Amino acid sequence: MQWSIQDIARLSGTTSRTLRHYDDIGLLPPTSIGTNGYRYYDEAALTRLQRILMLRDLGLALPAIAEVLAGQTDDARALVAHLHWLEQERARVERQIASVTTTIRKMEGGEQLMAEEMLDGFDHTVYKDEVEERWGAEAYAKSDRWWRELGAEGQAAFKAEEAAISGGLAAAHAAGTPADNAEVQALIARHYAWVRAGWGGTAPSAEAYLGLGDMYVADPRFAKHYGGPDGAEYVREAMRVYAASELA
């Protein structure tokens, strides 16, 4: 069985340009090339491509992937090395966050700005009453327990994930990106996963998820967090699209 470049691009969820690039750098030459110059790939190539994409998604650089595929480097060893690099990256980013935060704090008006734009909306105990009212005291207790067990690092990651999502949504909204845009929906997918994590792993039903969207619009604290009423409505709309297509 042979496939054209577009075929495997679709099968593997990448683009033909990427495949051409991989051919150029010798990472994935096509199985055969027609007299017309067309690239054709077989199952073996597809398998190889899938390994490449998996490693790429883990963040490995293409030359490192090439080594692993060539058998020069052991998979596990390459990943452990990569893990070290990632940890260094995290440390670097965290150091920068610390210095930027310090700098902002030292500037007049900076503290104010920071507080307005990001810090509130984040003490999870603020939501205690709403959670209990909507989903019961038991639900809150469970969520609270889960939160404490996360540990400082897990909590930071959880907050950071939310910051990333809402930041991305705010940018999309500002850019006028439609709510059903693929990237926006990818952010919503992350948001859904984030909410589910906050629910202790229980997947929210479409109804519950939509209710959350309504709350974002209705509650000024949430609305503000998503960049005002407009932003919150935008997020709700994106959540609606997601629920309709993914949670039906």
Q: Site residues (CB under 7 A) for DNA?
A: 4-7, 15-18, 20-21, 30, 34, 36-39, 56, 61-63, 141, 145, 200, 202
157 is an interface residue for a second copy by CB under 8 A: yes
Dihedral (C-alpha) 60, 166, 244, 240: value to the nearest 10 degrees? -170
User: CB neighbours of 63 closer than 8 A, spacing ≥ 6?
Assistant: none
201 is an interface residue for a second copy by CB under 8 A: no
CB of 124 to a second copy, least distance (A): 9
Q: On the CB side of 60, how many CA atoms lie within 13 Å of its CA?
A: 24
Q: Which of 195, 189, 124 is nearest to 155 (CA)?
A: 124
CB of 20 to DNA, least distance (A): 6
Whole-number Å distance between alpha carbons of 129 and 46: 53
Whole-number Å distance between alpha carbons of 133 and 141: 12
Residue 209, both tokens: 């998820």
Number of residues this chain uses to bind a second copy (CB under 8 A): 59
Interacting residue with a second copy among 13, 26, 37, 63 (CB under 8 A): 63
Listed ranges 18-26, 114-122, 224-232, 238-246: which one lies at the site for a second copy (CB under 8 A): 114-122
The DSSP secondary structure of 162-173, one letter per residue, reads HHHHHHHHHHHH
Q: Which residue has the tokens 């293409």?
A: 62
Whole-number Å distance between alpha carbons of 209 and 194: 12
Whole-number Å distance between alpha carbons of 129 and 248: 30
User: Which CB atom, from 29 or from 229, has the smaller least distance to DNA?
Assistant: 29
Whole-number Å distance between alpha carbons of 216 and 227: 11
CB of 89 to DNA, least distance (A): 14
CB of 7 to a second copy, least distance (A): 28
Radius of gyration of the chain (CA): 23
Do residues 184 and 177 touch, judged by C-beta distance below 8 A? Answer: yes
CB of 215 to DNA, least distance (A): 22
Interacting residue with a second copy among 11, 25, 163, 244 (CB under 8 A): 163
Interacting residue with a second copy among 25, 58, 174, 186 (CB under 8 A): 58
User: Which CB atom, from 6 or from 112, has the smaller least distance to DNA?
Assistant: 6
CB of 41 to DNA, least distance (A): 10
CB of 23 to a second copy, least distance (A): 20
Contact footprint for a second copy (CB under 8 A): 57-59, 63-64, 67, 72, 75-77, 79-97, 99-101, 103-104, 107, 109-110, 113-114, 117-118, 123, 125, 128-129, 132-133, 137, 140, 145, 148, 152, 157, 160-161, 163-164, 167-168
